[in-house]
Amino acid sequence: MKNKEQSQGIGAAARVTALASSIMDLHVRIALKEVNRERRRLISGGIFLAMGGILMLFTLLALEIVLLIWMKNTLNFSNQLALLAIAFLDLTLAGISLRLGGHLTKGPYLPETIEGLSKSTKAVFGKP
């Protein structure tokens, strides 16, 4: 009798594992389908974002050179002090940007996947 109960427990565990595997496979297929459908838009968007980022970097570099010259002429800073002040400003802005960027990038990305997960969870737990 004990052997029969053990085999039923193993069979139930195998079914749950197969169900979980099937659910994950479904969600991976949905994600790949969305990426394939949106590939051209994502690639062109990435190219334009990279181009904009490079141009913004050049603009920032030019503005920092102007700021360095202004600090030397107006505030009578030495080269080292002006560069140190700009480096501190850059470090502060970088920290703020990384903190905000990390906060904004949290969360789900694919609505179909989230919908599928909620349906699967409801099905597993037997909720309507």
pTM to 2 decimals? 0.50
Tokens of 102: 């990390």
**Do residues 79 and 72 lie in contact, with contact meaning Cβ atoms separated by under 8 Å?**
yes
C-alpha span between 85 and 14 (Å, rounded): 63
For every one of its 128 residues, what pLDDT tens digit does the chain have, with 9 covering 90 and above?
455 555 555 666 777 777 778 888 887 888 777 777 777 777 888 899 999 999 999 999 999 999 999 999 999 999 999 999 999 999 999 999 999 988 877 766 577 767 776 777 676 666 66
Tokens of 103: 């906060």
Which of these, 101, 106, 125, 117, lies nearest to 28 by C-alpha position? 117
